[in-house]
């Protein structure tokens, strides 16, 4: 398996495979915990790098508008300063979130392209990323599934009897 960094209880995992960063979020975040989540995410990304493509997967509810604004304020300057274009595929089962991501994609800077996919459409997301990241869609999807399995195992050890969806 590729290298995966994670928070102590596995709420947030960041892995790197070729030029793809895979970010997985397994927690519901209260308003108070959101700032800590942003800090953890940025620390892990800065340590690990972002690559040319990114898959973001969340089992949690969508962030509130104030949480999205805080994430944009924290990550926006960093993403805008990236030396190369960045493609971000967001994997979520939440149809409203996919619609919001599509709308949000119209607002992000030109170096960043953003698309939302359902988990069933993971391979389509991997195909969308593949040309710019130095890996095939099958390799990207396999890295995602391996990290997902690792995350589920880590979460079940942190919270015996509870395996997130």
Burial class (CB in 10 A: 0-12, 13-18, 19+), 62: middle
pLDDT in tens, 55-85: 988 876 666 778 778 877 877 777 777 777 8
Cα–Cα separations (whole angstroms), residue 8 to 5, 14, 73, 155: 10, 12, 25, 10
State how far the Cα of 45 lies from the Cα of 29, in Å rounded to an integer: 19
Question: Residue 19 falls within a domain, yes or no?
Answer: yes
Which of 32, 63, 53 shows the shortest CA–CA distance to 141?
53
Question: Residue 67 falls within a domain, yes or no?
Answer: yes
pLDDT in tens, 129-163: 999 898 999 999 999 999 999 888 887 886 654 44
Question: Residue 164 falls within a domain, yes or no?
Answer: no
Residue 98 CA neighbour count, 13 Å, CB half: 12
Burial class (CB in 10 A: 0-12, 13-18, 19+), 17: buried
- Residue 162 is predicted with a pLDDT of 42
- Answer with the residue of higher pLDDT: 1 or 82: 82
SS3 116: strand
- Residue 163 is predicted with a pLDDT of 41
Asked if residue 7 has pLDDT above 80, the reply is: no
Question: Residue 30 falls within a domain, yes or no?
Answer: yes
pLDDT in tens, 9-68: 677 788 888 888 888 887 777 776 777 777 777 776 777 667 788 898 887 666 677 877
* Number of domain units in the chain: 1
Question: Residue 47 falls within a domain, yes or no?
Answer: yes
Say if strands 12-17 and 112-117 run parallel, antiparallel, or are unpaired: unpaired
- The pTM is what? 0.79
The model's confidence at residue 164, banded by pLDDT at 50, 70 and 90, is very low
- Residue 48 is predicted with a pLDDT of 67
Q: Which domain holds residue 61?
A: 3-158
Question: Residue 165 falls within a domain, yes or no?
Answer: no
- Residue 108 is predicted with a pLDDT of 66
- Here the CATH number for the domain that contains residue 66 is 3.30.750.24
**What's phi and psi for 36, nearest 5 deg?**
-65, -40
Average pLDDT over residues 93-108: 77
Question: Residue 146 falls within a domain, yes or no?
Answer: yes
Please give the structure tokens belonging to residue 8: 């102590």
Question: Residue 163 falls within a domain, yes or no?
Answer: no
């Amino acid at each position: 398996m590729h290298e995966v960094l994670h928070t102590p209880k596995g709420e947030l995992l960041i892995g790197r495979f070729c030029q793809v960063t895979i970010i997985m979020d397994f927690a519901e975040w209260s308003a108070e915990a959101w700032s800590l989540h942003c800090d953890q995410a940025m620390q892990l990304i800065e340590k690990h790098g972002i690559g040319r493509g990114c898959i973001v997967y969340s089992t949690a509810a969508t962030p509130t508008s104030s949480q999205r604004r805080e994430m944009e304020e924290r990550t926006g300057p960093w993403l805008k300063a990236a030396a190369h274009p960045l493609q971000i595929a967001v994997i979520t089962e939440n149809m409203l979130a996919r619609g919001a991501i599509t709308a949000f994609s119209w607002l992000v800077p030109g170096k960043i392209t953003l698309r939302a996919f359902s988990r069933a459409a993971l391979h389509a997301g991997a195909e969308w990323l593949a040309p710019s990241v130095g890996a095939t869609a099958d390799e990207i999807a396999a890295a995602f599934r391996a990290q997902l399995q690792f995350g589920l195992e880590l979460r079940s050890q942190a919270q015996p009897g509870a395996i997130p969806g």
